[in-house]
Chain A
Amino acid sequence: MSDMRELYQEMILDHNRKPRNFRVIEGADHHAEGQNPLCGDQVQVWVKLEDGRISDVAFQGQGCAISKSSASMMTDLVKGKTREEAEELFLRFQELVTVGSEDIESLGRLAVFAGVHAFPSRVKCASLGWHTLHAALKGEEAPISTE
C-alpha cells in the first residue's frame, strides 16, 4: 500500500461524498448509537425488520471518509438480509479489516476496505458503523464505544 488511491478507492470516496441511506427511520424497530472517542466519530443506526429480514436500514453521523463510507456501504449491503446473514457479514467484515481476508472475491464491494488492515489506527473507523448495527440488532440501547 503506497498510493493514496489504493486505500481511498473511488467507491469509498463516492460513498463519502454521497452517503446512502443517510437519514432517520421514524418508528424503527432497532436503534443504536456508536462513537469512537479517540477521533470523535459518531454514528447512529436505525433498523426496520419485516419477517426477520431487514426491510430498511439507515444511518447518520459524522466522521472521516473511511467511517462514513463504510457505514453507507453497510446499509446498502444488509438491506433485505436476515438478521443472521447481516451478523455473518459483520464477522467477515471484521476479519477483513483486522487481519485481512483470503477470500476477498466473495466479499464483493466490501473488498474496497481490504487496505484498511494495514492501518491499525483506522480499523476502528471502518468498523464503527458495523459495530453499531450489531448493537442495534442485539437491542443495546446504551451507546457503544470502540474503546
Chain B
Amino acid sequence: MERTVMTTPYDVEKVRAGFPVLHQEVHGKPLAYLDNAATSQKPEVVIEAMKHYYEADNANVHRGVHQLSERATRDYEDARAKVQRFMNAASSKEVVFVRGTTEAINLVAYSFVRPLVGKGDEVLITAMEHHSNIVPWQILCEETGATLRVAPINDDGALDMEAFSVLLSDKTRFVSVTHVSNALGTVNPVREIVRLSHEKGVPVMVDGAQAAPHIPIDVRAIDADFYAISSHKMYGPTGVGALYGKESLLETMRPYQGGGDMIKSVTFEKTVYNDLPYRFEAGTPNISGAIGFGAAVDYLEGLGLEAVAAHEDALVSYCTERLLTVPGVRIIGTAPDKASVVSFTLEGVHPHDIGTLLDLEGVAVRTGHHCAQPVMERFGVPATCRASFGVYNTTAEIDRLVEAVKKVKEVFG
C-alpha cells in the first residue's frame, strides 16, 4: 500500500486556503470551525470534482453505452478504487457504497446478523456507541429475541477490556464497536477487540465514522469483518459512505434492498442477483457523492494521514491543556488514546448557553448529547460542549475558544 507522507512541516495556512467556507465572519468575528466531528468542511478540490461531474459527465452508471454514461461509470468506479485503497481492502468487490455509516450498520444488521440470531443469542456493543450503533441492534434484538449486551467504559472513557472479555461469551453472535468515540474521542483497541472476538469465532463490525478522517485505516491489519465510514466526516459530501465487508461474508449475505442495478436478470418467476458489490447497491447510486468522496480520499492521502494525525493530536493536547487553566472546566473523556475530540463542561453553566455564547464569538462547537445519550448518562451530565478538530484548525483558534470560555465564565459570574 502506498501512502503519501509529508516530509515538509505541516502547512496549516496552505490547507486553510483550500477551504472556501472557512473564510467568512460569523457575528462579525472570523469563523473558527471546531465542529468537525459533526461534519467536516469541504475543500475546493471536492466541490470541483462534483461540479465537473454535473457539468461534463452527468449520466447514469452501469447502463448506457453512450459516452457520458461510460465516463460517469468510470469515475464512479474509480472512486470505489480510491476508497478501497484508502481502507486497504483486498478487492473493490469488498467496498459497497452506502448513504453513510448509519446505513452500513443497518445493512449489516439486516443482511448478515439477522439470519444468524435467535432467542438466547447475544450482540455485544460498548457503552460509548453513537445512537447509530445502538438502535439498529435494538431493533434486531426486538425482532429476533436476541439480547443486546453493552461493555462498560471506565471513568476516563476508555473501554473496560476486562469486562468486554467477560461479556464476550459463547452466546455472542456478533460484536459491533466504534473505532473512535464521537462524544469522548476515545480510540478503541480494535485489533485487540477483533482478535478476542475471532478467538471465539465471533465476527466484528467496526464503526469508523470518526476514525477515518483522523487515523490511517487498514481493515486487513485490524482484520475487521465489516468496517464503515462516512464521506462527510472526511472532507467529502454528505449522503455517501462506504461499507467494507470481507468478500467471503458479503458473498453469503442476502440483499438489503431490491431494485435496479442489484440484479443480473429479472423475470416474474426468478431474479438473479448481481455480483459484489452491486448486489448491495440497489437503485441509482449517489454518483456525484461517490465522485466527491473519491476526491476527498485523494485529498486526505495527499496531506498524508500520519501528518494529519500528528497535527490533530497536537491540537487535542493543546486544547486540553489550555482549557484546564480555566477554573470550573471539566474534560469528559480523558483516555490515554484519543483522537480529535475535546468534550467539556463548565461548572454552573449549561452547555447550550456556552454554545450560543461561543457562537457569538465566531467559535462553532457542538453542544448537546452528541447522539450518545448513554455516554452522557455514564458521566452524569445532561450534555457537553465538544470541540473537534480537523486538518485546517489552528492553535490560534483554540486560543479563541479558551478566551471565549473565560468570557462565558465572566458573564455568568
Q: What's the least CB distance linking A37 to chain B, in Å? A: 10
Residues in chain A near residue B349, CB distance under 8 A: 65
Q: What are 18 A-B contacts with C-beta separation under 8 Å?
A: A2-B28, A3-B360, A4-B411, A5-B411, A8-B353, A16-B412, A38-B368, A39-B352, A39-B368, A40-B368, A62-B382, A64-B350, A64-B353, A65-B349, A65-B353, A66-B353, A121-B356, A122-B352
CB pair B356 A122 closer than 8 Å:
yes
Q: How far is the CA of A62 from the CA of B28 in the complex (A)?
A: 32
Residues in chain A near residue B361, CB distance under 8 A: 4
CB of B276 closer than 8 Å to a CB of A = no
Q: What's the least CB distance linking A73 to chain B, in Å? A: 16
CB of A125 closer than 8 Å to a CB of B = yes
CB pair A13 B413 closer than 8 Å:
yes
Q: How far is the CA of A39 from the CA of B383 in the complex (A)?
A: 8
Q: What's the least CB distance linking A69 to chain B, in Å? A: 10
CB of B357 closer than 8 Å to a CB of A = yes
Q: How far is the CA of A4 from the CA of B350 in the complex (A)?
A: 15
CB pair B27 A8 closer than 8 Å:
no
Q: How far is the CA of A17 from the CA of B412 in the complex (A)?
A: 9
Q: How far is the CA of A62 from the CA of B407 in the complex (A)?
A: 23
Residues in chain A near residue B412, CB distance under 8 A: 8, 13, 16, 65
CB pair A4 B27 closer than 8 Å:
no
Q: How far is the CA of A65 from the CA of B352 in the complex (A)?
A: 9
Q: How far is the CA of A3 from the CA of B27 in the complex (A)?
A: 9
Q: What's the least CB distance linking A22 to chain B, in Å? A: 16
Which parts of A1-58 form the interface with B (CB within 8 Å)? Answer: 1-5, 7-8, 13, 16-17, 38-40
A residues contacting B by CB (< 8 A) are 1-5, 7-8, 13, 16-17, 38-40, 62-66, 119, 121-122, 125
Q: What's the least CB distance linking A72 to chain B, in Å? A: 14
Q: A2-B28, A63-B350 are in contact. Are A40 and B407 (CB under 8 A)?
A: no
Q: How large is the interface on B (under 10, 10 to 19, 20 to 34, 35 or more residues)?
A: 20 to 34
Q: Give B355's nearest chain A residue, CB to CB.
A: A121
Q: Give A5's nearest chain B residue, CB to CB.
A: B411
CB pair B352 A2 closer than 8 Å:
no
CB of B369 closer than 8 Å to a CB of A = yes
Q: How far is the CA of A3 from the CA of B368 in the complex (A)?
A: 22
Residues in chain A near residue B367, CB distance under 8 A: 39
Which parts of B334-375 form the interface with A (CB within 8 Å)? Answer: 349-353, 356-357, 360-361, 367-369
CB pair A4 B28 closer than 8 Å:
no
CB pair A4 B360 closer than 8 Å:
yes
CB of B329 closer than 8 Å to a CB of A = no
Residues in chain B near residue A38, CB distance under 8 A: 368
Q: What's the least CB distance linking A125 to chain B, in Å? A: 7
CB pair A1 B350 closer than 8 Å:
no
Q: Give A122's nearest chain B residue, CB to CB.
A: B356
CB pair A13 B352 closer than 8 Å:
no
Q: How far is the CA of A63 from the CA of B367 in the complex (A)?
A: 13
Of the listed residues A2, A4, A125, the one surrounded by the most CB atoms of chain B closer than 10 A to its CB is: A4
A40 contact from B356, B357, B369, B411, Cβ within 8 A: B369
CB of B408 closer than 8 Å to a CB of A = yes
Residues in chain B near residue A16, CB distance under 8 A: 412
CB pair B411 A64 closer than 8 Å:
no
Contacts A8-B412, A39-B382, A64-B353 known; list 9 others, CB within 8 Å. A2-B27, A2-B28, A8-B411, A13-B412, A64-B350, A64-B352, A65-B353, A66-B353, A122-B352
Q: How far is the CA of A16 from the CA of B351 in the complex (A)?
A: 14
CB pair B27 A40 closer than 8 Å:
no
B356 contact from A5, A7, A17, Cβ within 8 A: A7
Q: How far is the CA of A5 from the CA of B413 in the complex (A)?
A: 12
Residues in chain B near residue A121, CB distance under 8 A: 356
Residues in chain B near residue A125, CB distance under 8 A: 352
CB pair A2 B360 closer than 8 Å:
yes
B360 contact from A1, A17, A62, Cβ within 8 A: A1
B383 contact from A2, A3, A40, Cβ within 8 A: A40
